[in-house]
Structure 1
């Protein structure tokens, strides 16, 4: 294997590890919010007047509060961790390929890796269309691979099933619904995740550009991050602030747009016998509960997605940013 191939493999492995770490961290920290969202969305037919209050009361009534709050944390961490790892690795590969092909309409005029000294990111820069498509394709690919874990997570979190372990949940799904049961709701998930991820990358990158210009007008020289001492610390801190703020903004905007698909997806995964497919689920939910049912869990999902996406992207960007500095230094030494 050539040195170039080893370097490429090493970078891809690091992108995978950085995505895995950031995904697991955000999933574990924010699992209580995700648990509440699932409990709220499982309500149907208006049987519960205040589903959030009922969900909180149900959790508080559990013998042990902390295990009850973090119920489903293991499948959530596995799904989000490996989902983030696959997503970030695929997204980076797509963006690198697009950036290396300047004649494509997806590459930006500054498609090469961002200057570490002037921007908050070291990732390739693409056009708006490129960011939209790259995010959508990468998320759809990751979602398909991780779909069985998603179904297990949702059903394990729900009170509609008395699963005592993930193994028992998997056995019950396989016995009742077969292999197809592990992919229940994938249509709604793909329709939700592809636009969400594409819009997220688009809004995220645009936010970083605008916030970067705003921060650059403040004190300190952004280019100081390639120097030693306090300048480097301030520049790295500023970059993390830009990335986190951009992540929160993107998460809020995209959560509002995609929440109807999330509500439908949860119903199909929890009650596949009552909601056969996405179209049937939408019609039944709107007919029996009104259009408001499509926005069930919006506040919780918006809070969770904004914080988890911002945290995952910030940790990922910082790890890659620091790694790029190290790789760049090693390259200069070898020359």
Structure 2
């Protein structure tokens, strides 16, 4: 009887592993597989809202591509171009998000463990550092796919496939076109990720202080973290969109724009201060469920891997 109770206690103890302290309990393979799964889920589920955000952020769009809100954009795009237009370019995201997010989360867990982020207590700074490092690695892989995606999302895009878009962009603008927005992307995504990861850890601490397996707390914490980060970094996202879509613009000044500073100047002169907040609503609308799905999928993916392999 005592042996049976001891066995039950051991099983319960195994089930109550520190789920939030991922690195000590998971291998690099688990981190990468879970990260790839999370990245694909994050980008594909809310893709139509991301497409609307891109169109709303374009400077000097054609009259046919001016929308008064998310609902208006969905209705007009669906009726004029067909529902499939809202999903155009998603293949590029799928191709890039898997490997990029695998590297992202693997880097995050490695750096977080290295700088002491997994030690007890509220480790906001260490988490922010790990998130920043993860972003640099992620965006190095993802930026070209993001450029292709946004070109295919634009109103009037004639690209039928990712390879076609990639060849056309390279032929017209050279390889530099795929990375001209990289400095701006890092300028936006490093604080975005630092804010998101730190906020996620903070919300997780409040919602799940025992750090037991609790999918609901991960989803809620992820959504709140995404909303916070998205709202604070929208101005930089507007600048990034201008740089990534400049080759498709009819405005000669935009086509020749080559820096973050110049892009910001164009936005301010043509749209004023409010121009930096264009796309704020769809960005938040897409970020909340996207980051909730991302963190929920990541945590679930790691748990599935752990239980399948018997990894402690």
TM-score category (smaller protein): 0.7 to 0.9
Matched with 1:20 is 36
Task: Select between 42-51 and 132-141 the one with higher mean Cα deviation.
Answer: 42-51
Query: What's the secondary structure of 1:44's corresponding residue?
Result: coil
Whether 2:288 is the aligned partner of 1:306: answer yes
Whether 2:105 is the aligned partner of 1:88: answer yes
Unaligned runs of 5+ in 2: 1-23, 248-254
Cα 1:256–1:64 change in 2 (3 A) is closer
Matched with 2:215 is 240
Size of the aligned set, in residue pairs, is: 279
1:226-265 matches, cutoff 5 A: 236=213, 239-265=214-240
CA contact (8 A) 2:77 2:86 kept: yes
Cα 1:167–1:249 change in 2 (3 A) is same
1:186-335 matches, cutoff 5 A: 186-213=182-209, 236=213, 239-272=214-247, 273-324=255-306
Cα 1:276–1:295 change in 2 (3 A) is same
* Higher RCO (C-alpha under 8 Å, 6+ residues apart): 2
Q: CA deviation at 1:49?
A: 6.6
Matched with 2:114 is 97
Cα 1:141–1:126 change in 2 (3 A) is farther
CA contact (8 A) 2:131 2:190 kept: yes
Q: CA deviation at 1:52?
A: 4.7
Query: What's the secondary structure of 1:184's corresponding residue?
Result: coil
Tell me which of 170, 180, 186 is aligned to 1:184. 180
CA contact (8 A) 2:38 2:294 kept: yes
Whether 2:127 is the aligned partner of 1:131: answer yes
CA contact (8 A) 2:112 2:129 kept: no
Matched with 1:59 is 77
Unaligned runs of 5+ in 1: 1-7, 100-106, 111-124, 217-221, 223-234
Matched with 2:88 is 71
CA RMSD of aligned residues (A): 2.5
Q: CA deviation at 1:88?
A: 0.7
Cα 1:14–1:293 change in 2 (3 A) is same
Cα 1:51–1:42 change in 2 (3 A) is farther
1:34-45 matches, cutoff 5 A: 34-44=50-60
Write out the 4+ residue segments of structure 1 that deviate beyond 3 Å after TM superposition: 45-49, 51-55, 321-327
TM-score (norm 1): 0.76
TM-score (norm 2): 0.81
Inter-partner Cα distance in structure 2 for 1:126 and 1:148: 36
CA contact (8 A) 2:35 2:102 kept: yes
Inter-partner Cα distance in structure 2 for 1:266 and 1:194: 17
